[in-house]
Structure 1
Amino acid sequence: TEFYYQNLKSKPKQGTLVIAPADFTHTHRGNMPISNDKYIFTSWIMFQRATDMYQQSIPK
């Protein structure tokens, strides 16, 4: 994984993972593996309620 703005490259090591903020400040790319398979897991966590962000109620 390469992080553009941080000028940082993370070498893959079996059994490890990379966690980074999901914002433009951590633009990144994953490189093709030279050998074996590569698995990607993506998830986002929202710390602000949608009703606070959009000023409307969410249908139940």
Structure 2
Amino acid sequence: MLYWAAVFFVIAIIAAVFGFGGIAAGAASIAKILFFIFIVLFLLSLISGAFKRGGPRL
């Protein structure tokens, strides 16, 4: 999912360089949404992994 966020970010940069403001804004908003979804899923994965193993070992 982080790959797709990076792809839409690159599309937004290229569209902005060529002056397509609407396309750039749309691609940037999609990239932002995908990035935040990735962050949430990553944090959930870390938390569930910590509970499965019984917490961190000190």
- TM-score, normalised on structure 2? 0.27
> Which protein, 1 or 2, shows the higher relative CO under an 8 Å CA cutoff with sep ≥ 6?
2
**Which of the two has greater strand per residue?**
1
**Which of the two has greater helix per residue?**
2
